[in-house]
């Protein structure tokens, strides 16, 4: 690939590993990348030999300065782009990247409110970036993550998120299958779960929710019912309804 089109960067795949059987972490070296904030996303453009192009947006998992960005991508069964990125893209291959994009669903270390992150499935990616930014900045603001998944094997970044040195406290929630000896049975997050496992409204936490539309709708509605002000809740959704 030659020099990128205006507004686009060339990203070369330098590291990759599987996160689960269906998801892959891809780290690109992006000369000229201006840096990004935790929670931002990027457009990825692929070009076929005959000039056909496809563009998709993905959240950035990495945080901090530098000319590397890490994406974490779920292979969608009917996807056009994600199966290629998860199954086919090889080290040294290049893609075009445009960004960073989005300035609302971001966490900055200078924010002083306690932070509650709530992830549904692959919606954890921008929230992982926030936990990384939190750790890198040495922030003393309380941050915790509630991560809802179907089953234990679906967890992305489990080791990193569970590490004793992690600065954000993590709570796992399983909707389909729980690990042996788990105290709660599998099921969707309820208002009672949220009341027990998230920061209370009295502390006026900033709340970031990312996941499928139904998940975000249910969780954000339950949180406003628990007394969180709507303007303290930032959401990012994906998928159809």
Rounded least distance, CB 88 to another protein, Å: 4
What end-to-end distance do the CA atoms of the chain give, in Å? 37
How near is the Cβ of 28 to another protein at its closest, in Å? 14
Site for another protein in 89-128 (CB under 8 A): 89-90, 92-93, 98, 101-105
233 binds another protein (CB under 8 A): yes
Helix (H, G, I), strand (E, B) or coil at 46: strand
Give, in order, the Cα–Cα distances in Å from 25 to each of 4, 72, 75, 76: 23, 4, 11, 15
In the complex, minimum distance from the CB of residue 166 to another protein, in angstroms, rounded to a whole number: 27
183 binds another protein (CB under 8 A): no
221 touching another protein, by CB under 8 A: yes
Show contacts with another protein in window 56-95 (CB under 8 A). Answer: 56-57, 80, 84, 88-90, 92-93
Residue from 54, 111, 151, 186 binding another protein (CB under 8 A): 54
Residue 146, number of CB atoms within 10 A of its CB:
23
Q: Which of 5, 35, 53, 196 binds another protein (CB under 8 A)?
A: 53
Does 32 sit near another protein (CB under 8 A)? no
231 binds another protein (CB under 8 A): yes
Closest Cα to residue 223, out of 184, 194, 188, 187? 194
Does 11 contact another protein by CB under 8 A?
A: no
User: Is the distance from CB of 153 to CB of 170 less than 8 angstroms?
Assistant: no
Is 100:37 a contact under the CB 8 Å cutoff?
Answer: yes
Q: Give, in order, the Cα–Cα distances in Å from 104 to each of 38, 40, 51, 183.
A: 10, 8, 33, 36
Residue number with CB closer to another protein (18 or 55): 55
d(CA 133, CA 29): 19
State the alpha helices, DSSP H only, in the chain: 82-83, 124-137, 158-162, 191-197, 213-226
Q: Report, in Å, the least distance between residue 65 CB and another protein.
A: 19
Q: Exactly one of 10, 25, 139, 220 binds another protein (CB under 8 A); which one?
A: 220
Report the C-alpha gap between 225 and 211 in whole angstroms: 19
Contact between 164 and 152 under an 8 Å Cβ cutoff? The reply is no
We find the least distance from the C-beta atom of residue 111 to another protein, in angstroms, to be 16
Among 14, 20, 29, 47, binds another protein (CB under 8 A): 47
Residues of this chain that interact with another protein (CB under 8 A) are 7, 43, 45-49, 52-57, 80, 84, 88-90, 92-93, 98, 101-105, 213, 217, 220-221, 223-224, 230-231, 233-235, 237-241
């Amino acid at each position: 690939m030659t020099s990128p089109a205006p507004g686009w960067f060339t990203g070369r795949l330098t590291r990759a590993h599987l996160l689960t059987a269906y998801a892959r972490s891809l780290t690109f070296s992006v000369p000229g990348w201006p840096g990004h904030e935790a929670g931002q996303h990027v457009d990825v453009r692929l070009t076929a030999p005959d000039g056909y192009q496809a563009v998709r947006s993905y959240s950035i998992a990495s945080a901090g300065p530098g000319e590397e960005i890490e994406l974490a991508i779920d292979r969608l069964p009917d996807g056009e782009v994600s199966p290629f990125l998860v199954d086919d893209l090889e080290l040294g291959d290049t893609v075009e990247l445009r960004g960073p994009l989005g300035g609302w669903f971001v966490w900055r270390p200078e924010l002083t409110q306690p932070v509650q992150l709530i992830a549904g499935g692959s919606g954890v990616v921008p929230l992982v970036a926030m936990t990384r930014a939190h750790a890198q900045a040495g922030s003393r603001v309380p941050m915790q993550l509630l991560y809802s998944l179907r089953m234990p094997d679906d967890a992305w970044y489990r080791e990193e998120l569970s590490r004793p040195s992690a600065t954000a406290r993590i709570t796992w929630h399983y909707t389909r299958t729980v690990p042996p000896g788990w105290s709660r049975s599998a099921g969707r997050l309820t208002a009672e779960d949220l009341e027990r496992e998230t920061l209370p409204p009295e502390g006026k936490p900033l709340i970031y929710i990312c996941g499928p539309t139904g998940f975000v709708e249910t969780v954000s509605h339950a949180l406003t019912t628990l007394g969180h002000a709507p303007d303290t809740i930032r959401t990012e959704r994906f998928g159809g309804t």
